[in-house]
Amino acid sequence: MISGRRALLRFALGPASGSQFHSLRALLDWLVITADRAHAGRGVRGYALVWFLRTYFGRRRVGRCTPAQWRRGPAPADTLLIGLPSSLTASEINRLIARGRYRRVALFDYLDQQELPWTEEQQHVLRPVAGLYLRPWFEPDIDHGLKMGLAPIRRSKRLTMAIIADRVCRKTFGRPQPRYDVAFLGQPNETRIALDGAVHRIDQRFHWLRELKAQAPELTFWGGFVGGDPEIVARLRRSYGDLSPLYYRGGKTRFGRYYQAMRRARVLLAPGGNVPWTYRHYEALYAGGVVVTIDYRRREMLVPLPPQGVVHVPDGAPVLPAIRQALELSRARPSLGEENYAFLERYLRLGAYSRSRPPLVQRFLQQFD
Q: With a cut of 70, say whether residue 15 has pLDDT above it.
A: no
Rounded to the nearest 10°, the torsion over CA 230, 219, 298, 305 is: 100
- 150 and 249 inside one domain: no
Cβ-count burial of 290 within 10 angstroms (0-12 exposed, 13-18 middle, 19+ buried)? buried
Instruction: For residues 42-63, give the mean pLDDT.
Output: 95
- The pLDDT of residue 27 is 80
CA angle 208, 219, 326 (to 5 degrees): 65
Backbone angles phi, psi at 124, to 5 degrees: -60, -35
Q: With a cut of 70, say whether residue 9 has pLDDT above it.
A: no
- 82 and 200 inside one domain: no
- 201 and 332 inside one domain: yes
Give the model's confidence band at 154: pLDDT under 50 very low, under 70 low, under 90 confident, else very high. Answer: confident
Q: With a cut of 90, say whether residue 94 has pLDDT above it.
A: yes
- Please state, in angstroms and rounded to a whole number, the distance separating the CA atoms of residues 197 and 218: 39
Helices 204-215 and 320-332: crossing angle in degrees, nearest 10, is 70
**Cβ proximity of 184 and 268 under 8 Å:** yes
Give the model's confidence band at 168: pLDDT under 50 very low, under 70 low, under 90 confident, else very high. Answer: very high
- The pLDDT of residue 308 is 84
Q: Which of 17-21, 29-33, 200-204, 364-368 has the lowest mean pLDDT?
A: 17-21
Q: Which helix (H) or strand (E) holds 293?
A: strand 290-294
Distance of CA 156 to the CA centre of its chain: 12
- Please state, in angstroms and rounded to a whole number, the distance separating the CA atoms of residues 39 and 126: 22
- 129 and 171 inside one domain: no
Q: Under DSSP, is residue 179 helix (H, G, I), strand (E, B) or coil?
A: coil
- The pLDDT of residue 181 is 98
- Please state, in angstroms and rounded to a whole number, the distance separating the CA atoms of residues 280 and 289: 12
Give the model's confidence band at 101: pLDDT under 50 very low, under 70 low, under 90 confident, else very high. Answer: confident
List Cα–Cα distances, 340 to 50, 281, 335, 337, in angstroms.
28, 11, 9, 5
List Cα–Cα distances, 298 to 142, 295, 310, 314, in angstroms.
12, 8, 14, 11
Rounded to the nearest 10°, the torsion over CA 352, 353, 356, 361 is: 150
Q: With a cut of 80, say whether residue 39 has pLDDT above it.
A: no
Distance of CA 95 to the CA centre of its chain: 33
pTM of the model: 0.89
More confident residue, 25 or 178: 178
Give the model's confidence band at 215: pLDDT under 50 very low, under 70 low, under 90 confident, else very high. Answer: very high
- 66 and 189 inside one domain: no
- The pLDDT of residue 178 is 95
Flag whether 25 is in a domain.
yes
- 87 and 180 inside one domain: no
Give the model's confidence band at 24: pLDDT under 50 very low, under 70 low, under 90 confident, else very high. Answer: very low
Q: Percent of the chain having pLDDT more than 70?
A: 93
Instruction: Give the number of domains in the chain.
Output: 2
- 57 and 122 inside one domain: yes
CATH value at residue 143: 3.40.50
Give the model's confidence band at 7: pLDDT under 50 very low, under 70 low, under 90 confident, else very high. Answer: very low
Domain of 335?
157-344
- The pLDDT of residue 14 is 38
Pairing of β 191-195 and β 198-202? antiparallel
- 175 and 150 inside one domain: no
Q: Under DSSP, is residue 132 helix (H, G, I), strand (E, B) or coil?
A: strand
Convert the pLDDT of each residue in 268-284 to its tens digit.
999 999 999 999 999 99
Instruction: For residues 282-294, give the mean pLDDT.
Output: 97
CATH value at residue 161: 3.40.50.2000
